[in-house]
A and B are shown apart, each in its own frame.
Chain A
Amino acid sequence: MRGLFPGVRLPGVQLSGAATVAMLVVAVVVNSALQPNFWSGYALTSNFATFVPLVAIAVGQTVVVLSGGIDLSLGAQVTLASVVAVRIVDGQLDRLPQAVAAALGVGLVCGALNGLVVALVRLQPIVATFATSFVFSGLALVVLPTPGGSVPLEVTTAYRAAVLGVPVALLAILGLALLWWVLRRHRVLRHVYAVGGDPEAAYASLVPVARTRISAYVLGGLFAALAALAVLANTGSGDPFVGNELTLASVAAVVIGGTSLAGGRGGAGGSILGAIVLALVTNIVFFADVPTTYRQLVNGAVIILALALAGIPALQKRRPAA
């Protein structure tokens, strides 16, 4: 019964909101009814392959949001990490380790910059990360001015393969969930929850507030780098604009997953489901034979509905105006 005792949190895995699970079930049922071959191996593989980048960036956004911040530069970080990696790998499999390391390095540095600006310079996260997003997307254009570069064929094939009938992309999502589960047990995440819930109280309890905020943005950057690798594995080439649409979608996924934008409450389990719901909605609208010109309207309306539904449990718990 989290919510009854706002200061007390259950250790271990947090149950993601019932609303999110219900939405996922509805989305899956509707989608499988509309898309005839939804459960076939091919459709599952290609569906999951497109989910991974959003899932990864949503996990990163969750950590930042839990710390009481928001990162509007995550999409630009995905772009920058992906173009750096694609320039380094340049189609050759033996350069893959360096490319992966470089992508993670980019995420680390970008996250650290955001963390410094928010935690030490004390700028408001919305505008500060908006400003750094210019820096990152500009640098991405310097690294790769036009779409191009290529990923080794082995990588893209492996990404769409299946191990014992389980799509690799689904394993990647499970891997991200496992990563979150491990992080959740680490002291850093406990500090992130404390700082996001009540920075003053955290400060008074000797939680290193500034350092925790920086760690949250660094983790966000590292997950953005993972999203970048997934984007590359999925598309097979570099694109200096690829991350633009991921930023706001990641925030939507976090909210649909039941994490409070005020910070301190929620978890990435919900965000992973939220990201899948978001992706399925696009699928559903496509297969529901909605006329092309109305597709986006229906899509937008359903997402607003999902955002509203995700907030209902919070609505019941906290009636008084705050």
Chain B
Amino acid sequence: MSAPTVETPRRALAWRPGPVALAGAVAVVLVIAGELVSPGFAGYGQLVNLMRVAAFLGVIAIGQTIVIIAGGGGVDLSVGKVATFAAIIGSRVMAGDDANIVPAVALALLVSAGIGLVNGLGVTLLRIPPFVMTLGMIGVVQGLILAYTGGQASGRAAPALTSLVNGRIVFDLPGLLFLWLLLGLLAVWLLRRTTFGWNLYAVGANRTAAELTGVRPGRTLVLAYVLSATFAGLAGILLLGYTESVFLDLADQYMLPSVAAVVIGGTLLAGGIGGYAGTAVGAIVLTVLQGLLTTLDIGGAWRTVVNGVVLLVLLSLYGRQRRLRS
């Protein structure tokens, strides 16, 4: 009966905080660091502001989480462009009129979902690696944007959308945060409580095994890409409500941070393991880091350098791969 005596100390040594807790701790440390560097950083209004900025990344990263969990090198690089396109469509169809909100949002999400469908079909039917398929899609969506706008974004967010996103409802919190919470809960429900979610984890963990147990990997993957693009489109609409008018590269810069948020949140890029709670915390960490660096008076160039170094440190907390051993 020597097994327990051997196992207990090993388990004690092997204990590590889960990725979500670790990322959360990092966020708290960053906020405290910010407060020390520039008093007022951790003030209520300032924190609410940071959370508001984090919400856009958080919503885009919902889809990214789904695609990455699906495995097989799954990643969606087109999310930033899709969000931009959705905002541009939304803005033009709305044209600043509340009556047009429903058709505008419907059209924007439909187009987004269509782009996701093409991504999904390219990945499953043509077997183009996801990285390359969605990379190529960036160029196509950029082309669609230019063709649709003629190089000049037009229109304006409807007032109702703006007040939904920016309006203070309870505790002086903007509506956007409640929308993010709602979408986040939807994502968790989708991943943990639906057949699609279970299939997704199964496909991500082992595609062949999933197929042998009756899951249709192709269908699950296509749906994953459709959802990814749709959530990106939704984030674009929210961003439109926030900025009120659009420009041609509105959401482009969210492309790789959405992947970073997923990884910092503890989801494996290899697929099959992870969840949205971690991603949400990851999005907050990245945004607080940005805010902290902005308050430091070190100039834009050095800020970019520090950003990269801190990102490396954050990734090495939980993004490490296992060691090769024989």
Which chain A residues have a beta carbon within 8 Å of chain B's beta carbons? 70, 72, 117, 121-124, 126-128, 130-139, 141-142, 145, 199-200, 203-204, 209, 248, 251-252, 255, 261-262, 292-301, 303-304, 307-308, 311, 314-315, 321-322
- Among A200, A298, A303, A314, find the residue whose CB has the most chain B CB atoms closer than 10 A: A303
9 A-B contact pairs sorted by A residue (CB < 8 Å): A251-B132, A252-B136, A262-B73, A298-B143, A300-B140, A300-B141, A301-B143, A304-B139, A311-B127
B215–chain A nearest beta-carbon distance, Å? 11
**Cβ-defined contact, A132 with B312, below 8 A:** yes
Instruction: Report which of A72, A121, A132, A299 forms a contact with B139, defined as CB distance below 8 A.
Output: A299
Extra inter-chain contacts (14) besides given A132-B308, A204-B326, A262-B73, CB under 8 Å: A122-B320, A126-B75, A128-B312, A138-B306, A200-B326, A248-B138, A252-B135, A297-B146, A300-B136, A300-B142, A300-B143, A303-B139, A307-B136, A308-B128
Given contacts A127-B263, A294-B147, A321-B217, contact A134 B311 (CB under 8 A): yes
CA distance A307 to B138 in the complex (A): 13
CA distance A159 to B305 in the complex (A): 33
**Chain A: which residue is nearest B321 at the CB level?**
A122
> Contact string, B133-166, partner A, CB cutoff 8 A, digits 1/0?
1011111111110110011000000000000000
- Among A133, A209, A295, A311, find the residue whose CB has the most chain B CB atoms closer than 10 A: A311
**Cβ-defined contact, A297 with B140, below 8 A:** yes
Instruction: Report which of B135, B138, B146, B308 forms a contact with A135, defined as CB distance below 8 A.
Output: B308
Given contacts A127-B315, A131-B312, A321-B211, contact A303 B136 (CB under 8 A): yes
Q: How many A-B residue pairs have CB under 8 A?
A: 162
CA distance A252 to B326 in the complex (A): 34
A79–chain B nearest beta-carbon distance, Å? 12
**Chain B: which residue is nearest A294 at the CB level?**
B147
Q: Count residues of chain B with CB under 8 A from any CB of chain A.
A: 55
B323 interfacial by beta-carbon distance below 8 Å: yes
CA distance A176 to B289 in the complex (A): 41
Given contacts A121-B320, A311-B127, contact A296 B304 (CB under 8 A): no
Instruction: Report which of B132, B269, B305, B319 forms a contact with A138, defined as CB distance below 8 A.
Output: B305
**Cβ-defined contact, B143 with A141, below 8 A:** no
**Chain A: which residue is nearest B152 at the CB level?**
A293
Chain A interface: which of B47-55, B226-234, B295-303? B295-303
Chain B residues whose CB sits within 8 angstroms of the CB of A292 once the complex forms: 151
